Amino acid sequence: MVPSRSKRKFRIKYLQASFSPKFASQPFFQRPASGVFQDHHAITLLAYAIFLISGIYGSLKVAISQYGIEADACHSIMLWYGVTAHGLPWLQDWLFTPDNWLLSLVPFHFMGFMIFGPEPAVVILFGWIIFIFAAFISGAIAWQLKAKKAAVIISLALLFLGSYAHESGFVSYPTSHNITNLFGLAALYLILRWSQQPRVLTLIAVLALLIAGAVSDPWMVAAYNLPAAIVGIVFVVRPSASIKREDGFQLLLVSVVSIASVKSKMFGMLAFLPSLKFALGNWATINNNAIFLLKNLGGLLNIIPFNKSNQVVPAILTLVAVLSLLSISVVKSVKYDHKVNSSTIAFSWLATFSIGAVGLAFVISQVEATNRSGRFLLNCAYLIPIGLGVFVEHNWPRSSKSEKTICTVVIALFVLSGIVSNFETWRRPGFAIKDNGAFALIKFLKVNGLSYGYGPYWGSDANAITAVSRSEVVIRPVEFTKDTGMMIVGNRSQSSKRWYWKEDAPPNQKQFFVFVVSDAEECADVNVCVSGLTKQFGNPVRALKYGDATIVVWDHPLVGSN
């Protein structure tokens, strides 16, 4: 079929226009979509999808294979048993630690228990879910700061945090400061939204997050509540175009109220919670903590692949690379962006004081830091990558090729080091939750007719045994005197005062046992403890060996006075 004259004229004019200098000078992205562009876009989306799936898969493997069924992980299950049996007033009999998780983590766990039952798997999976949410809200913060490309990269990169971050930073541990960090990051996100458009409802939400997080874990006061107050003071002193002086005062008031809620234990409503006692360390402790600050922070942000241990040199190399890049990016932003928007100001001040306050508290504390103290620096593991990504993207158009290459290499090394350190875990078949020996011990006790007794919190996995067996086998956590080895009841945190009343034991309970093992915390020497127990409760009817432990059995109650 021959085209009409009008159609032939249109095609000729279109071809002439296509090869005209005016059309050729147009930017590529303004031309009609080509197959090359579409392929490039599809490849980018495919790469994002691969990294996302790999990060989610890998972090799930790490969470369920490294954190098994143990005492701390079952903390909220024991709370659930007590509350469902005796009501909320039962919480007043629980011996909480200062990081009690009561208004932050416990509600999420209880929600899971209502749906799936009080299963340890629920607790362990929530640890992983919290980690995933923290990674994505970090990206949302960057997005809010007008760094949309960095937002995607930050979220994906954080999914590949290395084995040290998981093992010692506890980023996906069921009961850790990462839930507090998630509350803090959520509050930071809302503060950034508020800095763009101040609203009272937004500040109310910020207040709720700051109170819930800090009452549940005083670590949050230094990490987020005090820095939020500093941001409020900054806007009071130097209001911006979108934030007036009275707006800054409102944020300051919100922060002060949240801190007062922590100090007053929700104005007396949670008076049964313990207080955190912070004391200064001596020079030897401070020197030790300063070294571990470098090691642990470098371990969290590690960019040295194949670094198997938390060593000083790789940590310093990591910190020099990451912090130098961050500092240069911040200086360039300040130099070229004469009018920084309110959101960037709010983030910069809050992140700076958050990292500084936590780092200072880490160093000067009387508690000696170890390789497993990285959990106290979790805010740094999120805020530093967020700041780096945001300021690098803001400076990207005026960055040289070498600067862009360095940034790309640092990001690639961070992801690669995470993959390498976790690769052995990724390769393990299946998704079975790590078994720390709870099922074997439950079986042994049942075979020997034992169902109610006492033992060291960690050494006997007391709460874990009770939770996993659904109270078919009960072990109540106790302590032992160091010199005599006699049993002390009712003082161990993460236990209930009611557990040491005579009514706690089943009515027809015939035998009572004590699981004695040297766990370097409760019982230093098994022989001393067995001897002390014999003096305290009389000769046992039998004694069983279970690995390094001795299970001593009596035919009468061991505790019973209210």
Give residue 22's pLDDT: 45
Q: CA distances (Å), 372 to each of 76, 295, 471, 545, in order?
A: 23, 10, 32, 32
Alpha-carbon torsion (451, 453, 458, 459), positive or negative: negative
Tokens read off for 528? 């001393």
CB-based contact 432:120 (threshold 8 Å)? no
What is the C-alpha separation between 451 and 513, in angstroms, rounded? Answer: 8
Q: State the amino acid at position 158 in one-letter form.
A: L
Which comes out higher in pLDDT, residue 29 or 189?
189
Among 161-175, 179-193, 237-251, 338-352, which is the least confidently predicted range? 338-352
Nearest to 344 by CA among 221, 242, 236, 204: 242
Q: Using DSSP, state whether 48 is helix, strand or coil.
A: helix
What is the C-alpha separation between 228 and 7, in angstroms, rounded? Answer: 67
Give residue 2's pLDDT: 47
Residue 59: pLDDT above 50?
A: yes
Helices 401-427, 148-158: axis angle to 10 degrees equals 30
Q: Residue 324, Cβ neighbours under 10 Å: how many?
A: 12
pTM as predicted = 0.88
Residues 259-274, mean pLDDT to the nearest whole number? 93
CB-based contact 209:186 (threshold 8 Å)? yes
Tokens read off for 217? 């874990």
User: What's the pLDDT band for 308 if we cut at 50, 70, 90?
Assistant: low
What is the C-alpha separation between 226 and 138, in angstroms, rounded? Answer: 20
Tokens read off for 289? 């903590």
Following DSSP, what letter does each residue of 311-332 receive, concatenated?
-HHHHHHHHHHHHHHHHHHHHH
Looking at every residue in the chain, the average pLDDT score rounds to 88
Give residue 429's pLDDT: 78
Q: Residue 211, Cβ neighbours under 10 Å: how many?
A: 22
Residue 436: pLDDT above 60?
A: yes
Q: Which DSSP symbol is given to 457?
A: T
Residues 431-451, mean pLDDT to the nearest whole number? 89
- The residue ranges of DSSP E strands in 473-528, in sequence order, are 474-480, 487-488, 512-516
Per-residue model confidence as pLDDT tens digits over 153-188: 999 999 999 999 998 899 999 889 999 999 999 999
Residues 263-290, mean pLDDT to the nearest whole number? 91
Q: Which DSSP symbol is given to 560?
A: -
Give residue 252's pLDDT: 96
Backbone angles phi, psi at 62, to 5 degrees: -65, -45
User: What's the pLDDT band for 490 if we cut at 50, 70, 90?
Assistant: confident
